[in-house]
A and B are shown apart, each in its own frame.
Chain A
C-alpha cells in the first residue's frame, strides 16, 4: 500500500489550549463564540432498495439474472460497437466455428471449492468442509458464459479475463471464436464500464461527511470509552476550538452497519429468563449513543452483517422499536443497506461490506479497494448475489445495477482503511473508501465534500505501557 492521498489535519498553533487552560471568569467570551454547524441539502436516492410490504419469496433467481442481463446488455452493446466495429454480436446459440464473433452474456465461474448444497448428498465428504470460508479459489477454476438461451465454456487467451480476477454474475462481452472441441477461445473482453456521473456544484467551503462502521456494541470487547470519544468529537464536546471547528464542518454522519453486532448472550439464553433484560443492554446502549448523535447532527444508520435486520440484500432499515430515544429526532434516519443519497449534488453510495467480502472469496490477488473499483467497472454493486450472497428474488428489476456514477463510494466493515481516487471517462472522479471496523481500529473517516479527500481520525482509549 503506497502513500494514501489523505487530507492533513489543520496545523495547530502553539496557543491551542489557551481556552481550556484559561481562568474560569473568561468562560463568558468563550460562550459568545458559538460555532454553528454547516448544513447541506440531503436527498435520498436509494428508493430502489426499499422492499414493499408484499414480498414474495416464491420466485426463482433466474428472473434476477435475466433483468441484470437485459439492463446491462444495451450498455455493453454500445461499448462493443465502439471498440470492435467489424465484429458481429450474436447470441450463444448462433455462435459458429468459422468467424470471430462477439457475445454478450453473464459470467459464471465454476469453482470446485465453492460450497454447494449438493455436497450434503455426496457419498464422500470432500475437503471443502475442512477449508471453511477462507476462499473458494483454486487453480482449476473455469469460466462459463451464459445468456438467456444457452451457456458455453470459455478458454481465455486474454490477460484481462483470468479466472482469479473475476467473479460470477458480471455481464460482459467477449470476442473470439469457437473451437472445434466446443470451448470458446477469448481474445478480447469488454465490461460495462463506469456509468455517467452527474455534474455537481462545487461547494464554496469545506464540508465533511463522517463515515464509521462496526461499532459492535453487543460485543464484549467493545470499548465504551472509545465510542464515547467518537460521540464527543462529533457533538463538539472534545478538544479546543480547532477540533470543534472541524466537528462543526461535519454535515452528515453515516453509520455503515455493524452498530450492534451479534447478541450472543441473547441467542444462548432461555427466552423466559430474567437475564434477558440484562442481555438487552447493548440495544439500549446503542439507542443512547444514537440519541446523543442525533441531537447534534444528521445521522443515517445502515444495517450490517450481524445486525438485527434481514440477512438478504437489500437489507431493510433497522426497526424503529430498537431506537425509542433516537427515533423521534428528524435528523435520525434508518436506511437500507446498500444506501444512496445526495448531499448538495454530491452522490454517495455505500454498502456495509457484504458485497466486497463475498467478492474477496472469489478472487485472488485483488485488494478490497480493487474490488470496489471493479464494482464500478462492472457497473454492478454485488455481482455475486444471488450465487453466494443472499438476495431478495426480484422479479422485474435488478436494483443493484448502477445507473449513475457516485462521487463517493464506500464499503464498510473492512479489515483496514484504504482509499483511492478513481478517474473515469468523461471527467468522472470517484472517491473510493474502505471504512474499517471501529471496534478493531477506532477509525472515523471524514471525507471533504469540496476536495473529495479523506481524513481518517483514530480514537484510542487504552494506552499500554509498551
Chain B
C-alpha cells in the first residue's frame, strides 16, 4: 500500500508571482487602436476622418470660446445660448451614431 501524500489532494501550485508574464501577453490585452477621436495612431492627416477634421476646426474657432474642459456638445450648446450661431452640421455629428466617440475635444487627455 502506497502511503497517501497530502500533495495528492492538494496539488502544489506555483505562486502567482512566479508566473512569468511575457511581453506577448501584455500586447494581446490591449485592443488595437484605430485612428479615432484623437488621432493618436494617425500617421498623416489623411488618417483622421473628415468628421474629426470638421470637429477640430470647430474646437479651434476662437469665437465660440475656449474648448478645453468641456465636451464638444456642451460647447456647441453654450455657443447657441449666446447667439453665436454655431454650425448645425457639428451638432448633427455629435448627436449622431458616433457622437460618443467624437464628443471629447482636441486637447482631451493631452493638456
**A: which residues have CB within 8 A of B?**
58-60, 62-63, 66-67, 70-71, 74, 148-149, 393, 395-396
Chain A residue at minimal CB-CB distance from B69? A59
Expressed in whole angstroms, the Cα–Cα distance for A150 and B75 within the complex equals 20
User: Contact check: which of B69, B81, B84 meets A63 at CB < 8 Å?
Assistant: B69
Chain A residue with the shortest CB-CB distance to B82: A70
Residues of B within 8 A of A59 (CB): 69-70
Task: Tell me if A60 and B82 are in contact (CB < 8 A).
Answer: no
Q: A70-B82, A395-B74, A396-B77 are in contact. Are A63 and B62 (CB under 8 A)?
A: no
Q: Which residues of B contact A67 (CB under 8 A)?
A: 65, 78, 82
Answer whether residue B36 sits at the interface, using C-beta atoms and an 8 A cutoff: no
Nearest chain B CB to A54's CB is how many angstroms away?
A: 13
Interface residues of B (CB under 8 A from A): 62-63, 65-66, 68-70, 74, 77-78, 81-84
Given A70-B82, A396-B78, A149 contacting B69 (CB threshold 8 A): no
Contact call B66/A66, Cβ cutoff below 8 A: yes
A58 to chain B, nearest CB (A): 6
Given A148-B62, A148-B63, A149-B62, CB of A60 within 8 Å of CB of B68: yes
Contacts of B69 in A (CB 8 A): 58-60, 63, 393, 395
Contact status B78-A395, CB under 8 Å: yes
With both chains docked as a complex, state the minimum distance between the C-beta of B16 and any C-beta of chain A, in angstroms: 37
Q: Considering the complex, give the chain B residue whose CB is closest to the CB of A69.
A: B65
Q: Could you tell me if A62 and B78 are in contact, using CB atoms closer than 8 angstroms?
A: no
- CB-nearest residue of chain A relative to B77? A396
Q: Can you list 16 A-B contacts (CB < 8 A)?
A: A59-B69, A60-B66, A60-B68, A60-B69, A62-B68, A63-B66, A63-B70, A66-B66, A67-B82, A70-B65, A70-B82, A148-B62, A148-B63, A148-B65, A395-B70, A396-B70
CA distance A126 to B74 in the complex (A): 43
**Given known A396-B77, A396-B78, A396-B81, contact A66–B70 (CB-CB < 8 A):** no
Q: How far is the CA of A58 from the CA of B111 in the complex (A)?
A: 12
Whole-angstrom distance between the Cβ of B60 and the nearest chain A Cβ: 12
> How distant is the Cα of A62 from the Cα of B65 in the complex, in angstroms?
8
Known: A60-B69, A62-B68, A395-B70. 7 other contacts (CB 8 A): A63-B65, A67-B82, A70-B65, A71-B82, A148-B62, A395-B78, A396-B77
Chain A residue nearest to B81 (CB atoms) is: A396
* A59–B83 alpha-carbon span in the complex (Å): 22
When C-beta atoms are compared, the residue in chain B nearest to A148 turns out to be B62
CA distance A148 to B67 in the complex (A): 12
A445 vs chain B, min Cβ distance (A): 38
Of the candidates B65, B83, B84, the one having the most CB atoms from chain A within 10 angstroms of its own CB is: B65
Question: What A residues does B78 contact at CB under 8 A?
Answer: 67, 395-396
A70: chain B residues at CB < 8 Å are 65, 82, 84
Bound form: Cα–Cα A157–B12 in Å:
89
Identify which of B78, B81, B84 gathers the most chain A CB atoms within 10 Å of its CB: B78
B69 to chain A, nearest CB (A): 4
In contact, B66 and A396 (Cβ under 8 angstroms): no
In the assembled complex, the Cα of A82 lies from the Cα of B47 at a distance in Å of: 52
